[in-house]
Amino acid sequence: MGARRQASDSNVSKNSAGPYLAAPFGLHKHLVLTYDNTRHDGVGAQLHRIYGIYAISRLLGASYFHSPLAGVGYQGLAALEANAGDPEFHHAFNDLFQITSDAVPADDWQTIDLPSISLAVFQQLAAMFDRDKTDGRPSLVRLVMPFGIADRFPDCYEVCKDISPFPPSASLREGRPLRVAIHVRRGELFVLDSDRMLPNAYYVAVAQRIAGVLAGLGCDYQIELYTEVPGSEFVVQPDHHGISGRISAPAVVGPAMGRLEEFSVLPNLVHCVNGRAIECIRGLATADILVMSRSSFSYLGAILNRNGIVLYHPFWHRSPSSWMIVGPDGQFDEARLRQDVTAL
C-alpha cells in the first residue's frame, strides 16, 4: 500500500468523495470500505461491485478507499472465440473508472476480509470501534460483494451518477436523435447459465413499445443494438478462456445462435455488434433510454447514466426506484415513459 504512514485521523479525509445520503446509519469514517480485487471474473461484474461498495459507503457513513481492477478473467465473446485473453485488458478500464478515495490506509491499520456484508455485520464492525477493540485504529474492510446491503437499499446507487466518468449527453434541443440503447447479453451465456438470457422476442417487444411512444411524440430517434455474435463456428472446451471448468463437456457456438435477423423489424435500427466492452458501457451509460439485460454489465451502465430513462427486467439485483419495471411480455408504463421523455 505504498510507504508507511502514521495511523491517525489525518489519514481519513474530512472531505468525502461524495455525499453520505444524510448518513441514516450514522457516521463511521474509521471504517474504510474497499474492493477485494483478487477475484478476476468479468469486467461488468467487478465494476458493479466497486461502484456498489462506493454506494454503500455513502449510505453507511463509512469511508471509501479505491482499489482498481487487478485483472479480468472473462474478456468477452471475441476472447472466448480466440481462447485467449489480454493480460493488460483491465488497464483501460482503470484509466476511465476512477473514484476518489476518502482514506489512505496505513500499515498498522487493521484489515478485515469479507466475502459479503450485511447491515448486521456492518453494525458489528462499527460496535468494535466504538468499544475501542481496535485501539482507535481505522479498519480497512476488504469486501468482495456489497449486495447484502446494496440490494436491500438499491436507491444508494443514485450517488454513482455524480461520479460517472461519462458526461451528460448533448441536449435533444440541439437537433440530435434520441438514443435508445438495447443491451442483449450473450457471450459465454451461449454455453453456460443460459437461463440468464432473455429471449430476443422480449427486447423486440420492449423496443416496439418504446418506438410507438416516441413516434407519438414526434421524436427523431435511433435504436442501438448492443450485443455479441460469434464470427464463425467454434468449439468451447471446459478449459477455455473465461470458462474455468464451468462446463463439463465441449459446446459448439456459431453465428446463427444470435438470430440477429429477429431485430430487423425495429425501425431506425443501428447495429452496435461486437464492439469493445468499454465502448459498449459508454453507449449504455450515455443513452437517453436504456433497455437492460439481466446483467451486471447492464446494471453498471444504468447506475452511471446521469440523465437517461432505464427500463429494467427484474432479476437478482433489485432496481433503484427511479427505474421503470418491465414485465416478461415487454409491457411497461407507457404513460410514464411518455412523461419522462417529454422531460428530457
Asked if residues 301 and 183 have their Cβ atoms less than 8 Å apart, the reply is yes
Between CA 317 and CA 69 the distance in angstroms is 21
**Rounded average pLDDT per 10-residue block, the chain, 344 residues:** 34 43 73 95 96 97 96 90 93 97 89 96 86 75 97 96 93 89 86 83 97 97 96 89 86 89 97 96 97 96 97 96 97 97 93
Q: Give the pairing of strands 324-325 and 309-312.
A: parallel
Q: Decide: 32 and 140 in contact? Cβ < 8 Å.
A: yes
pLDDT for the residue 196: 81
What DSSP letter does each residue of 177-209 carry, written as one string? PEEEEEE---GGGGTSSGGGPPPHHHHHHHHHH
On whether the 172-343 domain is CATH 3.30.460, my answer is: no
What are the phi and psi torsion angles at 161 (to 5°)? -60, -35
Query: In this predicted model, what pLDDT tens digit does every residue of 1-11 receive, in sequence order?
Result: 333 333 333 34
Contact 311, 289 (CB under 8 A): yes
Query: What residue segments make up the domains of the chain, in order of their start?
Result: 9-156, 172-343
Query: Within 112-179, where are the H helices?
Result: 119-130, 147-150
Residue 108 is predicted with a pLDDT of 83
Q: Which residue has the cell 472531505?
A: 15
The pLDDT score that the predictor gives to residue 22 is 58
Sign of the alpha-carbon dihedral angle for 20, 26, 31, 34: negative
pLDDT in tens, 127-148: 887 666 667 788 999 999 999 9
Predicted local distance difference test score (pLDDT) of residue 107: 86
What integer pLDDT is reported at residue 241 of this predicted model?
86
